[in-house]
Structure 1
Amino acid sequence: MTSQHKFLTSKSVSVVGVPFNGGQPRTGVEEGPIRLVEFGLLEQFREMGYETEYELNENIADLRPAEDPDTLNLKQPKYVSAVTRVVSQQILKRAQEGKFVLTLGGDHSVALATVSGVFGAYPDACLVWVDAHADINTPASTDSGNIHGCPLSFLTGIADQHPDFDWVQPLLKTNRLVYIGLRDVDEAEKKIIRDAGIKAFSMHHVDKFGIGQVVEMALNHVNPNRDLPIHLSFDVDALDPSVAPSTGTPVRGGLTFREGHYICEAIAETGLLVAADIMEVNPALEDTDSVFQTVQVGCSLARCCLGEALL
């Protein structure tokens, strides 16, 4: 992969585990990273010829403040801010070293860290966001106050100023963001997406055009000359619950197993992918078979991001 890769300087992958659940109310999602690693993900990468390093971040809960009142409609803002700020520096350092950065979540508020770190190293990058949800609510528009539904509003500068997130720089231009797989979008988010002119492909578009054409159109929008670094952030709830049942906010009618893997394979084939996130695997939900199935899918998606192909 790296011999044809336009940005990575070595065949090294830095795996950053972020065992964090503070962006939403369910426990269990903090167990996602370790379960993916226990399933053999690092060994799988080594078998693919990658030098692999792993940062577990097992002491991340130590960053939880003694008091963390709701502030400007957001829940646990100090905890989310403290964790994502620390992790963003980790990711920035690894990206600057020319390594592929794979972040294992954790809930999707962790994207505050991943996008900040990756775009700090690659200011011209583009972001492909694969998710059932748009995650672009502002503090003013969110009904739940859960920050895992808000990271993109801060990263694009659409959110109002918030005292706990003044460190987050609006590094992500809206024309460098594209969605694939949306199917559960709040009315306020629909307006934000329309008003900002953000390119979004819902499951309707996947049904209409097919996943191959959707990925091509998505890349044509954010990376028309195929010369910019790509960051892929993949929430496993983009997949249909029959494929990845152990996740916190499942929505029927999602991507099939093959559609999800095709996205990762096709983007890896560009030689431009510099970072990927696998988010919202929650081993505390559903039965043992469902957890095994979801963890297995998370690992195979990650391998596809690093160039695994069917032939």
Structure 2
Amino acid sequence: MPLSDDTADIAHGVLRWEAIFAQFRSAQEILARSGARRVLTAGGDCAVDVAVIDYLSGLHPGLQVIWIDAHLDANTPETSPSGNFHGMPVSAILGRAPEPMRPFLGAPIDPARFRYFGIRVGDDGDWALQRELGLKRLDPQESIRGPVHIHFDLDVLDPREFPYLAYTDGGLGVEDAIALVGRIAREADVVGLTVTEFAPSDEEAAAAGSEVIARLYEAATRA
């Protein structure tokens, strides 16, 4: 995606930096006031998870992150071709956040406690960070234990089954996705679930897509 013509709105390598940083700090304040030990986040793009994962990591030592997404989201401000922060959250939680954001974040997630699932699409910078940090894909049979946060970008789903998307790069079947989330919940302690990138075109699409989102939530919590 090309860089915006509005280059005046770019700072620290991030498009619309002031708004992004303000939203990040606001989310941190809301989470801190809540005192919650488990967090459900619904809506927004993938960048909403930076504050959530940082918060949960501070509460749950050894937190594991399962990033279910068609995209790697691992660009840095230096490598992103667009400057869009929604393409940088993985690098941010792994210690490569924009410089002014770093003092407000706790210890980075250990790459050994991070797993991708469903990834298909990335820029050169995404793949470079994956190789540098040795970021692995989740083996469908891999056993998962301890506290886990599940990041679920709906664009990982096959658009023929779930067309309510802005990006249609995924190929994961809905039933397979629900089964995966359910398995993680049965084996591990799911302390966070974030569902992002819902883009229905009308009320009918919103209702149909919401049924799938509800099933993902049920799979994550009924264990």
Same fold (TM over 0.5): yes
Corresponding residue to 1:185 among 92, 114, 122: 122
Q: Match of 1:129? A: 67
Deviations 1:276-303 (A, max 9, x none): 11111123xx355433332221121111
Secondary structure at the residue paired with 1:215? Answer: coil
Secondary structure at the residue paired with 1:182? Answer: coil
Q: Match of 2:208? A: 293
Corresponding residue to 1:233 among 143, 151, 156: 151
Deviations 1:6-47 (A, max 9, x none): xxxxxxxxxxxxxxxxxxx9xxxxxxxxxxxxxxxxxxxxxx
Q: CA deviation at 1:77?
A: 1.5
Q: Aligned pair 1:307/2:214, yes or no? A: no
Q: Aligned pair 1:278/2:195, yes or no? A: yes
Distance in 2 (alpha carbons) for counterparts of 1:165 and 1:243 = 39
Q: Aligned pair 1:87/2:63, yes or no? A: no
Q: Match of 1:11? A: none
TM-score w.r.t. length of structure 2: 0.88
TM-score w.r.t. length of structure 1: 0.64
- Structure 1 138/148 Cα, relative in aligned 2: closer, same or farther at 3 Å? same
Distance in 2 (alpha carbons) for counterparts of 1:191 and 1:271 = 30
Distance in 2 (alpha carbons) for counterparts of 1:115 and 1:289 = 32
* Unaligned segments of structure 2, at least 5 residues: none
- Structure 1 192/86 Cα, relative in aligned 2: closer, same or farther at 3 Å? same
Any conservation in 1 of the 2:58–2:106 contact (CA below 8 Å)? no
C-alpha RMSD of matched pairs (Å): 2.2
Corresponding residue to 1:247 among 161, 165, 171: 165
Distance in 2 (alpha carbons) for counterparts of 1:185 and 1:170 = 25
Secondary structure at the residue paired with 2:55? Answer: helix
Q: CA deviation at 1:91?
A: 3.2
Distance in 1 (alpha carbons) for counterparts of 2:204 and 2:30 = 34
Secondary structure at the residue paired with 2:15? Answer: coil
Q: How does 1:262-273 map to 2 (within 5 A)?
A: 262-273=179-190
Any conservation in 1 of the 2:70–2:169 contact (CA below 8 Å)? yes
Distance in 2 (alpha carbons) for counterparts of 1:265 and 1:80 = 32
Any conservation in 2 of the 1:138–1:150 contact (CA below 8 Å)? yes
Q: How does 1:42-191 map to 2 (within 5 A)?
A: 69-92=9-32, 94=34, 96-98=35-37, 100-159=38-97, 161-164=98-101, 166-191=103-128
Q: Aligned pair 1:216/2:141, yes or no? A: yes
* Unaligned segments of structure 1, at least 5 residues: 1-24, 26-67, 202-213
Superposition misfits of 4+ residues, deviation over 4 angstroms: none
Any conservation in 2 of the 1:178–1:198 contact (CA below 8 Å)? yes
Q: CA deviation at 1:179?
A: 0.4
Query: Alignment identity in percent?
Result: 27
Deviations 1:94-139 (A, max 9, x none): 5x544x3211121111011111111121131100010001111000
| Amino acid corresponding to residue 172 of structure 1 in structure 2 | I
Distance in 1 (alpha carbons) for counterparts of 2:184 and 2:70 = 19
- Structure 1 81/123 Cα, relative in aligned 2: closer, same or farther at 3 Å? farther
Q: How many residues align?
A: 217
| Amino acid corresponding to residue 140 of structure 1 in structure 2 | E
Q: Aligned pair 1:256/2:173, yes or no? A: yes
Distance in 1 (alpha carbons) for counterparts of 2:28 and 2:184 = 23
Any conservation in 2 of the 1:138–1:153 contact (CA below 8 Å)? yes
